Chain A
Amino acid sequence: MEILGYLSQGFALAMTPLNLVWLVLGAIMGTVLGMLPGLGPTTGIALLLPLTFTMTPDTALITMCAVYYGAMFGGSRSSILLNVPGDGAAVAACFDGYPLAKKGLAESALAMSAIASFIGGLLSTIAFVLMAVPVARFALRFGPPEYFTLMIFALAATASISKEAIVKGFISLTLGLMISTIGMDYQSGVLRFTFGIMELQTGIDFIIVIIGIYGLGEVFINFEKLAVKGPGVELKKKFGRIWITMEQWKRSWLPILRQTPVGFLIGVLPGAGGTIAALMAYNNEKQISKHPEEFGEGAIEGLAAPEAANNAASVGALIPMMTLGVPGSGTTAIMLGALMILGLQPGPLLFQQHADVAWAVIASMFLGNVVCAIINIPLAGVLVRVLAVPPRILYPLIVGLAFVGVYTINFSTVDLTLLMIFGVVGYLMKKFKIPTAPLILAVVIGQSMEQSYRMSMMLSDGQLGIFFRTGICNTLLVLAVLSVIWPFYSDWRKKKKAGTIKK
């Protein structure tokens, strides 16, 4: 009950007018930043930095957190409407969100994404309150070998969900891993496949790959429809209320509840993050679904699950920073720096020395989720009208937006050239019916997978046994094997069932 006392004090501080105003402003700013391709929470918080120097620590932290999860809410808007992910964590929202919009269900998709995000965020905030410290301690047990086995599990699960085209799935995966080898090898300092281009030394930002393959690739595919005279794509004339039907809710509530913990736990692990959480959640749901064939064609639960998971991950990512003083991601690293400038030292002592601030931030996370949901539903009503723009005007706008957004990631025109290349790659992958999800996941985790393998080898002086050293490793390896076998097993079971019925 001690917790409730702290929490109510936290609410009292978080609800002061000044903090509330900043909370709302931060949430709006985050949503807009999240929607714009290329810009995400990291940019948002870096931009806020100079402003926060003039604030009190509680206001500064509340504002930064609001930007952070505001971006998580906003990122999927453009995934659903335009197939252009606003940031990495929103990529899974393209898989089913965009097909839903194409089917004329954009309103439901937008509403579901906001609702799932809200539930995911809210539940994980409760989890934060109840078990932040033990969860953070658990995350510390993840060293390089544990990360490596986690990545293996993630890759195995993704490649195996495309079982109808498993060889193509593996080709896609390998190409993705190849992209991730570009840049400096972190363990030896050797430059690989940079062709003398300095901008490539830090590797290719996966957001460029995502925007190219999904955003531009989709535009190019649609050119085929434009080339045929006539309206081509049907324009949306009537717009309904931004809400979901009972049937959609029935399909989605369980996936949301199932994938929230997954996202939360992945978020807590330093270095994993929202993108992996969303992709894993999508895979999990597709694997256990009774009708996996609907995934990718506009299954509402295929949108709900990753949306819940990536918001849960964003809450989880705050845990190592707040409770241990260790940054878990680029975004939280900047927040940590800002806190130190404000004279707060994040870590276990934060809850002793500045309990009021710490609990106000936690309380603001509850409020922030509500605020984001309230902002996003009417906003969706405005945004959905983009579908009324004739495609011949809309597509050039998407191209323009993608270019500007990608430029602001590194302020480099090399990235723009890469964007063009990946646009063509995306188009060809669609033409050849190569699944894109394995490539995306491989690009996201490829580098840390190889590096964690090499780190493990250095730690063990070359003994492979290190990958079986803990229960975590072994569990993850078993799960990896199971996820490869499972689709074949369920297939076999279905056939057997069908066989007995025939007899």
Chain B
Amino acid sequence: MRSDTILGIFAIIFGGIYSAQALALPKASIGNPWAPIYFPLSLGVLLVAFGILLILKSMKSKKAGRVLSFPREAMILIAGTLVLCSVYIFLFEKIGFISSTMIFMASVLTFINEFKNWKTNLTVAVSFTLLIWYVFEKLFYINLP
């Protein structure tokens, strides 16, 4: 499928869900009860309209549309990084800035820069963490967990 068609379908679905959510918003208790709803609702409707427009446009154009490719290796890198980020977010306030950041940086570097460069990876992870900690905590008095 052409990338514009996919985008159009996404816009229609997302706009629809958003509009439904907007309709379900609580009403205002002072002033016009519908006042907080008009703006989001019109945005939802607009997005659906733009989605339809985009699909029509891409159907009309004679040029062969762009088809997207998502290279498998890149997807693995992105997904892996996202998983590591989630773990980092989970640990960040639990075990504190220094340990969580060192673990996070070391694991992301290992993941992206391969295990065989572990010496560089470890040095970078430790020095990055300590440098950031020093700048924030000592120079700017911003308390990190």
Contact = CB atoms under 8 A, between A and B. Distances in A.
B25 interface: yes
Given A167-B57, A224-B74, A413-B92, A392 B112 contact: yes
B89 A417 contact: yes
B142 A408 contact: yes
A393 B124 contact: yes
B21 A193 contact: yes
A432 B36 contact: no
A47 B140 contact: yes
A413 B89 contact: yes
Contact of A403 (B39, B72, B85, B113): B85
A180 to B, nearest CB: 9
B62 to A, nearest CB: 17
A237 to B, nearest CB: 19
Contacts of A400: 101, 104-105, 108, 128, 132
Given A226-B77, A404-B132, A408-B136, A171 B7 contact: yes
Contacts of B25: 190, 192-193
Contacts of A170: 46, 50
Interface bin, chain A: 35 or more
Given A187-B35, A223-B78, A167 B21 contact: no
Contacts of A226: 74, 77, 112
B73 A396 contact: no
Interface string B66-89: 101011111011100110011011
A433 B97 CA distance: 37
A397 B85 contact: no
A417 B89 CA distance: 7
Nearest to B55: A167
For B6, B36, B54, B142, which residue has the most chain A Cβ atoms within 10 angstroms?
B36
A414 B104 CA distance: 18
Contacts of B27: 190
Contacts of A188: 28-31, 35-36
A399 interface: yes
Given A413-B92, A458-B31, A434 B7 contact: yes
Contacts of A502: none
Interface in A409-429: 413, 416-417, 420, 424, 427
B51 to A, nearest CB: 7
Interface string B13-48: 001001001000111111100011001100110110
A175 interface: yes
A413 B87 CA distance: 12
B89 A416 contact: yes
A174 B54 CA distance: 14
B39 to A, nearest CB: 5
Given A181-B40, A408-B142, A431 B113 contact: no
A139 interface: no
A73 interface: no
Nearest to B26: A190
Contacts of B53: 167
A205 interface: no
A370 interface: no
Interface in B51-65: 51, 53-54, 57
For B6, B21, B46, B86, which residue has the most chain A Cβ atoms within 10 angstroms?
B46
A15 interface: no
Contacts of A392: 109, 112-114
23 contacts: A32-B135, A39-B142, A167-B57, A171-B11, A177-B43, A181-B43, A187-B28, A188-B30, A190-B26, A190-B28, A193-B21, A223-B78, A223-B81, A227-B72, A227-B73, A396-B105, A403-B88, A407-B144, A408-B142, A413-B93, A417-B89, A427-B78, A458-B31
Report, nearest first, the 8 A-B pairs whose CB atoms are least far apart: A227-B73, A188-B28, A224-B74, A392-B113, A223-B77, A185-B36, A396-B108, A227-B74
